Amino acid sequence: MAASAPTPHGTGFPAEGRCGYYVEKKKRFCRMVVAAGKRFCGEHAGAAEEENARKRILCPLDPKHTVYEDQLAKHLKKCNSREKPKPDFFIQDINAGLKDETEIPEQLVPISFLSEEQMENLIKKLRKASEGLNSTLKDQIMSHPALHDALNDPKNGDSATKHLKQQASILGNIEKLKLLGPRRCFVEFGAGKGKLSHWVDIALKDAEKVHFILVEKVTTRFKVDGKHRKKNSVFERLQIDIQHLCLNKIPLLSKEKLPVVGIGKHLCGVATDLALRCLVETYAASCEERNEEPLAKRVKNDKTEKEINTLAKEGNEKNIPEKWTPVAGIVIALCCHHRCDWRHYVGKEYFRALGLGAVEFHYFQRMSSWATCGMQKTSLEASNISTKRKDKQNDGSEEHDDGGYRITDDSAESLPGFLTVEEKKKIGHLCKLLIDQGRINYLQQKGFNPALQYYTDPLVSLENVLLTALPNHSSSPETTA
């Protein structure tokens, strides 16, 4: 008689056609379908005497599942965890930035290990570096008619409403910058389910020649990509880390010269820096190298010679099309500064000009968490941490588990005692502002006109800063379409 795992009294029987193995951890029977005449699924067949003759071993590619030892070679060829061929647009570390190991000490102690004097010196450096920066950003809390019905749906819970308000404001800001139009490609970084692109597509209605590229490094469930059936919109999802993404190798962008609009909702820490470098260095720079031909020659490719002569006779040189803009604009909701990384950070030059380096950056990015999750007054509040985690997760991005509010080892109980709760919060905001200012400086150096603004109320999300940027030489993205 076939053996089975011990079954607690009163748990019933497995469903018909399902595995008879009782999973103690889940307090239920395994729900896998079994082969005809078998009692156990392949994963739990080792529990049955009839299967004991064949040994199951851990898969060398992914120890989370097992495989028959005599079928290992066959399994390795089709295992979902096997290394798959890299696509053309995968170029190792293309957006990673230069790696300088000499700048980063081997070991940096946690903030809780620093002396009061060391902490005071760090805070002095922070305040000196932040002198002259406007710590109060402009409010640009907006909405968009495309989300009107969704926002007023009575079935929405608090979490859904908060996400919709953020998406509506981001969409409103995209429209205000005149980036919401036909003949362009929207690249959503950290796309998750693709909700932001979904609403952009709805807002564009029947606009012609609109493409969406959704970049996400992990497999995502409940994607909304399949809901789009419009003839004029094309959705393409890329499962790749932004660090290795080369946009100009994507067939869609290499064939059609559509201005790119980079967008993102709660793009976590280092991912923002990788996305900025991907857009303005890897993509825009390579596109400009390919378009070194004189302006008059480029105009002839787009207009007839007769039209050009007419413009010249009328003296309307200003009506001649401007230089084609590879990146029409950037609109990214920032998040999780405590997850930034010095190697990938785009604002290194800005920090160095202020006399700061990798060590200061490390501690500033850790201290940035005080702005959103370091406000617990004393260790007596530790019992409330689990509740606050749940509440704060609801404030984050739906595609982003912690939403930037993870209670880290450098917050709550480990904060220096000589600072008040309000002072810690202000220091956290200064750290975020300084890190973001490095990004602003980087975009300015690359020929963009960037800005930071509040795009939603802090009651909706504590991570409420939006980074926008338009190219300097383009009066409006619509003129380049």
pLDDT surpasses 70 at 395 = no
Same domain for 45 and 115? no
Q: Dig out the tokens for 233 from the structure.
A: 């919109």
Same domain for 55 and 204? no
Each residue of 14-41: pLDDT tens digit? 888 899 888 888 889 999 999 888 888 8
Same domain for 233 and 118? yes
Same domain for 224 and 337? yes
Q: How many domains does the chain have?
A: 2
Would you state the pLDDT for residue 417? 65
Q: Look up the domain containing 52 and give its range.
A: 22-77
C-alpha distances (whole Å) from 111 to each of 242, 250, 347 are: 30, 43, 23
Same domain for 44 and 190? no
* 266 occurs within a structural domain: yes
pLDDT band at 404 (very low <50, low <70, confident <90, very high): very low
Pick the last residue of a domain from 54, 77, 100. 77
What residues have CB less than 8 Å from 17, skipping those under 6 apart? 33, 34
Each residue of 185-212: pLDDT tens digit? 999 999 999 999 999 999 998 888 899 9
Prediction pTM value: 0.74
Would you state the pLDDT for residue 408? 38
Same domain for 282 and 367? yes
